Each structure stands twice: as structure tokens, then as C-alpha cells.
Amino acid sequence: MTTYRESRALSPPLPEARGAVSASVRTALRDGTAVALPPESVADADPFGDDLQLALYVLYELHYQGFDRVDDRREWDPDLLRVRRRLEDRFLGAVREAVAPGEGEGDTADEALAGLLVEPLGYDTTSMTHFLQREGTREQLREYAALRSPYHLKEADPHAWVLPRLHGRAKAGMVAVEFDEFGAGHPESIHARLFADLMADLDLEIRYGHYVDATPAEALASVNLMSTLGLHRALRGALVGHFAVVEVTSSPGSRRLAQAMRRTGAGPAAEHFYDEHVEADAVHEQVVRREVVAGLLADEPHLEPDVAFGVRATVLVEDRLAVRLLNAWRAGRSALRRPLPR
């Protein structure tokens, strides 16, 4: 009988720094000191770049799994929270600027979601999942799984932050979806565990945080956006918008990824992870749109621009990640910061 290895049994080591900002955060956590970070360092940092995104990711991880040899009490360290706020402001400010509706464009949740509800005809050359379905190699699927692992090994955790901030229909709908994500009472069916099984099929290390050093900024930004929106009550509407995008796009995207896994002989667990999402997320989409989004806006209609922002912000970071991956793969290069061992 095979003994299952829990991917989150241990906290990971601190990742390597990628610049002055992430080095300052890393040193403070390693040494138990305050962050020595001049204000201009954050102001000058690329809001979508490796340095800022890694620093923000590390600070957010204190609320999830923490790090080996880092005191868990640093989670609420006032100095670290002040630094995190500055990084968040820089990141969110850039996102808001990039997705601000143009003249004549609407700012409703329905308008923001409209383009996601229609599947493109034929092969969408801008889509990661279309590429992997038709052309992706097993090695590219391994890269995709590795860079998605910082989220999928804690799948649905960032969205759970919003539960205490909802009530009525929105809360009931959100809990129903999250219950499925967390295995509906069966630990072997928790989606994070299913993803660890997928990684094992692809000969990847399943330990939580193992591939962070190889994960590009665009993928860290995707994870960071969830944490940013989830950890702030003021952004609960945007978190619901983010969740709507995840569920609306998951079923068709998962269908393509399941086909890619079969075509490349990735293995039964790799196929099962995406097969599970095809069926479950088709139902989740309806619950999220009709209960979570509609329920929230029925109770708090003033949050509609926030929901629309969450939708557009999610599309922005995912589109940036798609450009990174497709440009690398079509050029015959690794999309990671360092290639995986074969």
C-alpha cells in the first residue's frame, strides 16, 4: 500500500532574493530583524517584476504555510505589515491603472464578464490551454504544473478569506463551492491533494514551495492578486470578481488541459485533476454567477465596480502570464526562471 506524502507537511525554506526589495524582506525574516528598506526602493521597483512580486509573495506566505526557521509570530509583525502595505499599493496601483475602463466602457460585473462567457471558435493563438491542448509537449506541461503549484497546492485557500465578509446568498454559494474545492469531506479529494498527485505523475517534486525559485514574476503575480484581494475586507467585491473569472474559465480550460495530459501520456492522476474540474466547475460557474455575485450585489450594490475590477485585474495578470509562456515555448525556450531537471 502506497503511503501518501502530504505536500504541506513542512514549511518550505525561504526562496532566493531577486533584488533589493526581496533581499531586504528575506534578511529580516531570516534574522528576525526589521526590514531595512528605503522608501525609494519600492517606488522604483517594477510593480510586475520579479523583485517586488517575490517580496510580496513571501510576506503573504506568512499567512499560509510560513517558512522553515521563521517565527510564525512574524505573521502580524507591524513592521512587516507596513512594508507589505507599500508593496500592495505599488502593485494594486499599477493594476488599477492598467484595467481602468476607457471612455464609453461600462463598469458592471456583467460587462466585465461578458467576453469570458463565449468560447472562441477554433484555435485561440493567445491561449495557454489551447496551445497545450494541441502543441504542448510533456516537458511544457511539467513547466506549467510547476509554475502553477504555488497556487494549486493551496487551491481555494486565498478565496476562503472572503467567507467571514459575506452573508446570505453570497456566503451560502461561496461555501458550497469551497466545500467541493476542499474535498466535500474527503481528504483524498481535496483539490490541492489531487494537484500533488498530478505533479507526481509528471515526475515533479510535490513539496509545497519547491518551485518558487523557478517561478516567473507573472505567475507569482497571479497568486499575489488572490492574496491581496482575499486579505482585505475593503476588496471583498474584487475577490468575488476574481473568483467568478476562475470558475467561468476553469471548465473549458480544464477540458483542454485534460486532453493535453492524455495526448502526452502524462498519467491517470494528471488526467483526473483536470477531468474533475471540467465537471465540478461547470456547476460552480452557475453557483458563483447566480448566487455569489448576484447575492453580493443584491445586498451591497455599491460593490459592483469592485467586482468588475476584480474580473479585469484577473484577466490582466493571466494574459501577462500567457504572453510569457507562449513566447518562450514558441521560441523553444523554458518559460521558467531555471529549467526543470529532466
Q: Encode pLDDT of 170-203 as tens digits.
A: 999 999 999 999 999 999 999 999 999 999 999 9
Could you give the angle at which helices 20-31 and 50-61 cross, rounded to 10 degrees?
30
**20 φ/ψ angles, rounded to the nearest 5 degrees:** -65, -40
Range of the domain at 62: 20-99
Residues 90 and 198 in one domain: no
Distances (CA, A) of 115 to 99, 119, 143, 153: 15, 9, 28, 29
Domain presence at residue 2: no
**pLDDT score recorded for residue 1:** 35
Residues 52 and 169 in one domain: no
Residues 43 and 125 in one domain: no
Residues 77 and 217 in one domain: no
Among candidate residues 46, 78, 99, the one where a domain is terminated: 99
Residues with Cβ within 8 Å of residue 53, at least 6 apart in sequence: 91, 217, 220, 221, 224
**pLDDT score recorded for residue 103:** 60
Residues 173 and 311 in one domain: yes
The 8 Å CB, 24+ separation contacts for 336-340 are 336/143, 336/146, 336/147, 336/211, 336/214, 336/215, 336/216, 337/50, 337/213, 337/214, 337/215, 337/216, 338/213, 338/214, 340/139, 340/142, 340/143, 340/146, 340/204, 340/214
Domain presence at residue 9: no
pTM equals 0.95
Domain presence at residue 104: no
Q: Residue 318 belongs to a domain with what CATH number?
A: 1.20.910.10
Distances (CA, A) of 167 to 23, 143, 160, 205: 41, 39, 13, 39
Q: How crowded is residue 159: how many other Cβ atoms within 10 Å of its Cβ?
A: 21
**Pair 149, 195: CB distance under 8 Å:** yes
Residues 228 and 163 in one domain: yes
Q: Give me 308's grid cell.
A: 468588475
**pLDDT score recorded for residue 5:** 75
Domain presence at residue 338: no
Residues 223 and 89 in one domain: no
Among candidate residues 62, 80, 99, the one where a domain is terminated: 99
**Pair 164, 153: CB distance under 8 Å:** no
Q: Domains in the chain: how many in total?
A: 2
Domain presence at residue 14: no
Rounded Cα gap, residues 55 and 41, in angstroms? 12
Residues 141 and 214 in one domain: yes
Residues 89 and 121 in one domain: no
**pLDDT score recorded for residue 6:** 87
Residues 324 and 205 in one domain: yes
Domain presence at residue 191: yes
**pLDDT score recorded for residue 105:** 67
Domain presence at residue 15: no
Rounded Cα gap, residues 336 and 333, in angstroms? 9
Q: Give me 110's grid cell.
A: 456583467
Q: What is the DSSP string of 13-30?
A: PPPPP-SHHHHHHHHHHH
Domain presence at residue 28: yes
Residues 201 and 120 in one domain: yes
Low-confidence ranges of the chain (pLDDT < 70): 1-4, 103-106, 121
Closest CA to 143 of 193, 194, 199: 199
Among candidate residues 99, 130, 148, the one where a domain is terminated: 99
Residues 86 and 211 in one domain: no
